[in-house]
Amino acid sequence: METLDAMRDRHLLTADQHAEIRAWVARERTPDAIRRHEAGEVFTLDQYRARYATYKSDPALRAAHAALPWMLIWDDHEVSNDYAGLRGRDLAVDMVARRTAAYRAYWEHLPFPKSARPTGADIRVDDRQYRDPQACPKPGFGGSNTVRLADCPELLDPKRSLLGTEQERWLAEGWDTSRPWNLLMQQSLMARFAWSDPASGSATYWTDA
């Protein structure tokens, strides 16, 4: 289990780069921000399309896409923060309609082949739509939480899965030992994350992984 300090020590970004990113985020929230969203959170197909159009119009991003090859993998924010399957943080939202709209807009705005076109709610395998919902969410919400193991025995249930049984089987069958490389792209931490040293006996854990 990796602590926050260990992750910080091995992270590729320097302290100066982190400071630059924080400054950029702060600028995005000012009235004279370089790029401002046309609205708040998005839910419908038209809203997701508009959000992609906002980002796709950015000259720096367009130049990066033209200059470099990209390998794409999505995460929760392509739909909504911390969604798992058909459960989002806001339990009252119709996640079937929202997820379908988000997947459709994602496929429309990224360079996927026609064979990847979604025919329903699904577009590609990942660790969001097939996973078990996060354990021990905050009361009245879905999504992740920070908990002590003693307060969330569900987090240690060996039957819980980040990929889902069918996708785990697909992944196991896909490895080919005759190839020099098997490239795996995925979105989330591959091990449980502790915010403090587990040896202290009082560690708290992020439940999204």
pLDDT at 23 over 50: yes
pTM: 0.67
DSSP per position, 145-195: -EEEGGG-GGGG-TT--SS-HHHHHHHHHH--TTSS------SS-SS-EES
pLDDT tens-digit readout, 66-75: 898 887 778 8
114-138 burial string, b = 16+ CB within 10 Å, else e? eeeeeeebebeebbbbbbbbbbbbe
pLDDT tens-digit readout, 38-47: 778 899 999 9
pLDDT the model gives residue 144: 84
Work out whether the CA dihedral 85, 164, 159, 192 comes out positive or negative. Answer: negative
Answer yes or no: are the C-beta atoms of 115 and 108 closer than 8 Å: no
DSSP per position, 12-75: SS-HHHHHHHHHHHHHHTSTT-SS--SSSS--SHHHHHHHHHHHHT-HHHHHHHHHS-------
pLDDT the model gives residue 124: 56
| SS3 label, residue 109 | helix
In the chain, ranges of CATH 3.60.21.70 domains: 37-206
Distance separating alpha carbons of residues 20 and 27, to the nearest angstrom: 11
pLDDT the model gives residue 140: 86
User: What percentage of the chain has pLDDT greater than the value 70?
Assistant: 77
Residue 22 amino acid letter: R
pLDDT tens-digit readout, 172-205: 777 777 877 777 777 777 777 787 777 777 788 8
Nearest to 76 by CA among 67, 84, 87: 84
Answer yes or no: are the C-beta atoms of 73 and 126 closer than 8 Å: yes
pLDDT at 7 over 70: no
Look up the CATH number of domain 37-206. Answer: 3.60.21.70
